[in-house]
Amino acid sequence: MGKVFVQITAEHDTNGMIKPTVLHWSDGRKWEIEKVFDVRMAVSLKAGGQGLRYTCRIANKQVYLFCDDGKWFIEK
C-alpha cells in the first residue's frame, strides 16, 4: 500500500479549523467532500505516516483523508 497525494480545497474558520470541501485528482477530476465525520491525530496503518486524519464521505464512500505538514493524501 502507499500514499496518493491529492490537492484539496478547504475552508478555514477564525478558530483555525480546516474543513476540506473538494478533492482534486491529478487528472483534473474533482470530488465533493460530502461530509466530515471526525478529525483526529492518527497514523495511516496502510500507507505509513501520520497527521490529522479526516474521516469523510466522498461519492457515498467512507474515506480517510490525511493532512501531514500541509500535504494531503489518501491511502492507496
Identify the pLDDT of residue 44.
86
pLDDT band at 1 (very low <50, low <70, confident <90, very high): low
pLDDT digits (tens, 9 = 90+) for 9-52: 999 999 999 999 999 999 999 999 999 999 999 988 787 778 89
CB 4 within 8 A of CB 74: yes
> Domain range for residue 69?
3-75
What mean pLDDT is predicted for residues 52-58? 96
Q: How far is CA 33 from CA 45, 49, 52, 57, 72, in A?
A: 22, 22, 16, 6, 14
User: Helix-strand-coil percent breakdown of the chain, rounded to 5?
Assistant: 0, 70, 30
CA dist., res. 37 & res. 26, Å (int): 25
- What pLDDT does 22 receive? 98
Give how many domains the chain has, as a whole number.
Answer: 1
pLDDT at 76 (0 to 100) = 81
Model pLDDT, residue 14:
95
